[in-house]
Chain A
């Protein structure tokens, strides 16, 4: 067995060698690249493209909701037949818009764009690896995602429109072509696209887990991993366990749609005629879907929380408060995320007793979430705060996480859910706690790691304008929605102003729409800043945020392989900020304890001797290697 391991080592050493000497051409460097950093950037740019489309779709349906009588004739060049004769938005197209907005934002932007970008970019850099465990699988993961995106994009231009049954695509609406225009080819393409997406997520996730477990550098124990890596790791675990279930759900739906089986269909009459399908169960789909659907919320949120932990600690110049508590609460969230799915189905005819169990489990999630919030606030407390753009976005995330999380406690109650289910209250809740919070995590990550990605700094002034417009804008959009929702305004409705009691909320809706348009427009400031800084930004220093983690020990433009020489070893945890006695207010992970006797704590002093022995051994190995090489 040991012999086999040695040969494996030789093989990987050979690969590294190969990577260093090989000069990449345009195609292997920018398109079919196996370098995790470039793949991360590919995910980021693709995610930004999808965020723009998803955001634009939401502006279209906000126009309808805020200004139902508006003449949308000016959109005809773009939307063509989807604008009716009278200049209104076609109701079927409205449904397609909300469906596509949801699908794009949840899967393409906040799963692939967030997890895909930062897991790929940061995992090897922060754990000290040359690349992912399998660069080829990683490349495949991106191109599966790309293919999935192309298919979804094509579906936007179908004559009968893209899938329209909501992003959850519940049957029978999604299973029967006669049900609505979007359930035809649009739905088929949605399913094909999602199959590619699931394959992409699984390829990515398997790679992330393997890399984190097997390729950490010397000294990088699990107790010294940055919280970002913990978050990406647990996200990948959740994805690995939940995406196959979505695959099962989708597969059975495909059989129902295209082969005439009856997994989800039973006793349906269309135009007075009975369909042949009997014996299916529509609730079965909901169980399968939400078994993915709920963990998906944490797939979206956990990476953002991890990024926030890192940025808040760095910019507060303080160790993260409760490092272990952070890990344990993330583990708790990971486990709990799999046992709460039915709280999305309280009004589906679920057994009320089962409902109370799921309610109990759901409310428990408030505990680890509150621990995390508490730790963020206590890390900020009396810190030496630096309000970089990334820091502001991270604090914004904490704000959304609190205000959106509180409403979750109401929604988690099966009794209150009877009133609130499928109203704008739900929309407001998940847009704050999952949508905006994760989006802010994504933004924080981009602003923070931009210097590492492109070797230049983003403009801080534009950054803070972008932050304030977005932060205020998000609250302006989603706070009023709570009121609209409590008043009973249901989500996914084309129009709800036919009753006098609902008419009262038209002005609030108008307000929300205007705020949404301003918030969307503010994102172009970011886009300009991003692309301008990529080419013209101030050249970054090697460690612009004076951070401790390993990625800042690489050269300004790391090549494939990340470190030109040996991979650095790690001697301490990543949060030694403002350590009493230390010369500077940060000590990078690569600084051995033996070099910093002035700041070592008593228990670290004991480790120093051990460390010296290891360093001595290492030098022997290095000398031996040089001898072999010559």
Chain B
């Protein structure tokens, strides 16, 4: 009987989750599928041989640190918004956006480093895959930076505070996901190259 009661109470509140937040999670699922298919294509292709061996650019280590720092600063922004300290929120958002752009610039220099090693986009798939991984991730990260800027603008208009966190929470989720995605890609490349 108690179980039944719980179930009906659950049904009374059908709005189980913020629909937009939920939709964001589903979008993240589809991005995961893109990268899962890409990395499995990489493994399948690698097992067939004729695979160019080269050193990963060292700059990946630095960009990984930058992306971790940006996640920390965004968390700082999130906590500031929860505590309604709006000035800190704006500074933290700005710092995160700048770190995001820094990461993108770093990724660009990783391409420069690859070209210096004579690894080009056109050539052995080993190199091409690396460009596709970093490029696709960078495109998603650009969308994340745009999202950050949108949130920054809303915060300047006093639309983000402890009573109105939905947009902030979505931005935080997306950004942490993108950071995690890069770390996954980097680990994957370290293990399989």
Is this pair of chains taken from one and the same complex?
yes
- Residue numbers of A with Cβ under 8 A of B are 3-5, 7-9, 12, 133-134, 137, 202, 205-207, 209-211, 213-221, 240-245, 247-249, 251-252, 255, 259-263, 266, 278-281, 284, 287-288, 291, 606-607, 610, 614
Which residue, B12, B23, B31, has most C-beta atoms of chain A within 10 A?
Answer: B23
Residues from chain A with Cβ under 8 Å of B51 in the complex: 279
| 16 A-B pairs with C-beta separation under 8 A | A5-B18, A12-B15, A214-B15, A214-B16, A214-B17, A217-B14, A218-B12, A245-B33, A261-B128, A262-B124, A262-B128, A263-B41, A263-B125, A263-B129, A279-B124, A279-B126
Please measure, in the bound complex, the distance between the C-alpha atom of A169 and the C-alpha atom of B43, giving whole angstroms: 23
A263-B12 contact given A7-B163, A210-B26, A610-B5, CB 8 Å threshold:
no
Tell me the smallest distance from the CB of B178 to a CB of chain A, in Å.
16
Contact in complex: B29, A241 (CB < 8 Å): yes
Name the prevailing secondary structure of the B interface residues.
helix
Tell me the smallest distance from the CB of B6 to a CB of chain A, in Å.
11
Residues from chain A with Cβ under 8 Å of B150 in the complex: none
Contact in complex: A248, B41 (CB < 8 Å): yes
Please measure, in the bound complex, the distance between the C-alpha atom of A614 and the C-alpha atom of B19, giving whole angstroms: 25
Contact in complex: B22, A213 (CB < 8 Å): yes
Residues from chain A with Cβ under 8 Å of B33 in the complex: 240-242, 244-245
Contact of B163 among A3, A205, A243 (CB under 8 A): A3
B8-41 at interface with A (beta carbon < 8 Å): 8, 10-12, 14-20, 22-23, 26-27, 29-31, 33-34, 37-38, 41
Residues from chain A with Cβ under 8 Å of B23 in the complex: 133-134, 137, 206-207, 210
Please measure, in the bound complex, the distance between the C-alpha atom of A4 and the C-alpha atom of B161, giving whole angstroms: 10
Tell me the smallest distance from the CB of A286 to a CB of chain B, in Å.
11
Q: Once A and B bind, how many residue pairs between them come within 8 Å at the CB atom?
A: 140
B121 interface residue per 8 A CB criterion: yes
Please measure, in the bound complex, the distance between the C-alpha atom of A288 and the C-alpha atom of B162, giving whole angstroms: 45
Residues from chain B with Cβ under 8 Å of A214 in the complex: 14-17, 19, 22
Nearest CB in chain B to that of A205: its residue: B26
Nearest CB in chain B to that of A223: its residue: B7
Please measure, in the bound complex, the distance between the C-alpha atom of A255 and the C-alpha atom of B136, giving whole angstroms: 13
B190 interface residue per 8 A CB criterion: no
Residues from chain B with Cβ under 8 Å of A218 in the complex: 11-12, 14
- Residue numbers of B with Cβ under 8 A of A are 1, 4-5, 7-8, 10-12, 14-20, 22-23, 26-27, 29-31, 33-34, 37-38, 41, 44-45, 48, 50-52, 121-126, 128-129, 132, 136, 162-166
Contact in complex: B45, A284 (CB < 8 Å): yes
Tell me the smallest distance from the CB of A240 to a CB of chain B, in Å.
6
Please measure, in the bound complex, the distance between the C-alpha atom of A133 and the C-alpha atom of B22, giving whole angstroms: 10
Tell me the smallest distance from the CB of A293 to a CB of chain B, in Å.
13
Nearest CB in chain B to that of A276: its residue: B122
Contact in complex: A610, B124 (CB < 8 Å): no
Residues from chain A with Cβ under 8 Å of B17 in the complex: 213-214
Contact in complex: A252, B132 (CB < 8 Å): yes
Contact in complex: B37, A288 (CB < 8 Å): yes
Residues from chain A with Cβ under 8 Å of B34 in the complex: 244-245, 247-248
Which residue, A134, A248, A259, has most C-beta atoms of chain B within 10 A?
Answer: A248
Please measure, in the bound complex, the distance between the C-alpha atom of A609 and the C-alpha atom of B36, giving whole angstroms: 50
Residues from chain A with Cβ under 8 Å of B121 in the complex: 255, 259, 261
Tell me the smallest distance from the CB of A124 to a CB of chain B, in Å.
12
Contact of B122 among A9, A209, A242, A261 (CB under 8 A): A261
Q: Closest 9 CB pairs between A and B?
A: A244-B33, A133-B19, A245-B37, A248-B37, A244-B34, A206-B26, A216-B14, A260-B122, A261-B128
Residues from chain B with Cβ under 8 Å of A210 in the complex: 19, 22-23, 26
Residues from chain A with Cβ under 8 Å of B29 in the complex: 240-241
Contact in complex: A243, B30 (CB < 8 Å): yes
Residues from chain B with Cβ under 8 Å of A278 in the complex: 50, 124
Residues from chain B with Cβ under 8 Å of A245 in the complex: 33-34, 37
Contact in complex: B15, A215 (CB < 8 Å): yes
Residues from chain A with Cβ under 8 Å of B122 in the complex: 259-262
Residues from chain B with Cβ under 8 Å of A284 in the complex: 41, 44-45
Residues from chain B with Cβ under 8 Å of A280 in the complex: 125
Tell me the smallest distance from the CB of B9 to a CB of chain A, in Å.
9
A209-B26 contact given A252-B132, A261-B125, A278-B50, CB 8 Å threshold:
yes
Contact in complex: A134, B19 (CB < 8 Å): yes
Nearest CB in chain B to that of A211: its residue: B19
Residues from chain A with Cβ under 8 Å of B15 in the complex: 5, 8-9, 12, 214-215
Contact of B12 among A3, A209, A279, A614 (CB under 8 A): A614
Known pairs A5-B15, A7-B164, A255-B121; list 7 more (Cβ under 8 Å). A4-B164, A213-B16, A221-B7, A240-B33, A244-B31, A261-B123, A266-B50
Residues from chain A with Cβ under 8 Å of B48 in the complex: 281
Contact in complex: B14, A244 (CB < 8 Å): no
Residues from chain A with Cβ under 8 Å of B132 in the complex: 251-252, 255
Please measure, in the bound complex, the distance between the C-alpha atom of A255 and the C-alpha atom of B33, giving whole angstroms: 19
Please measure, in the bound complex, the distance between the C-alpha atom of A252 and the C-alpha atom of B33, giving whole angstroms: 15
Contact in complex: A279, B41 (CB < 8 Å): no
Nearest CB in chain A to that of B30: its residue: A244
Residues from chain B with Cβ under 8 Å of A243 in the complex: 30
Please measure, in the bound complex, the distance between the C-alpha atom of A252 and the C-alpha atom of B132, giving whole angstroms: 8
Contact in complex: A262, B125 (CB < 8 Å): yes
Please measure, in the bound complex, the distance between the C-alpha atom of A297 and the C-alpha atom of B132, giving whole angstroms: 29
Please measure, in the bound complex, the distance between the C-alpha atom of A218 and the C-alpha atom of B33, giving whole angstroms: 34
Which residue, A211, A219, A244, A281, has most C-beta atoms of chain B within 10 A?
Answer: A244
Contact of B14 among A220, A281, A287, A614 (CB under 8 A): A220
Please measure, in the bound complex, the distance between the C-alpha atom of A255 and the C-alpha atom of B37, giving whole angstroms: 16
Tell me the smallest distance from the CB of B5 to a CB of chain A, in Å.
7
Please measure, in the bound complex, the distance between the C-alpha atom of A247 and the C-alpha atom of B34, giving whole angstroms: 7
A262-B123 contact given A209-B26, A210-B22, CB 8 Å threshold:
yes
Tell me the smallest distance from the CB of A517 to a CB of chain B, in Å.
41
Residues from chain B with Cβ under 8 Å of A263 in the complex: 41, 45, 125, 128-129
Contact in complex: B4, A610 (CB < 8 Å): yes
Nearest CB in chain A to that of B39: its residue: A248
Contact in complex: A287, B19 (CB < 8 Å): no
Contact of A614 among B8, B45, B125 (CB under 8 A): B8
Tell me the smallest distance from the CB of B89 to a CB of chain A, in Å.
16
Tell me the smallest distance from the CB of A238 to a CB of chain B, in Å.
11
A8-B166 contact given A262-B123, A262-B128, CB 8 Å threshold:
yes
Please measure, in the bound complex, the distance between the C-alpha atom of A133 and the C-alpha atom of B27, giving whole angstroms: 14
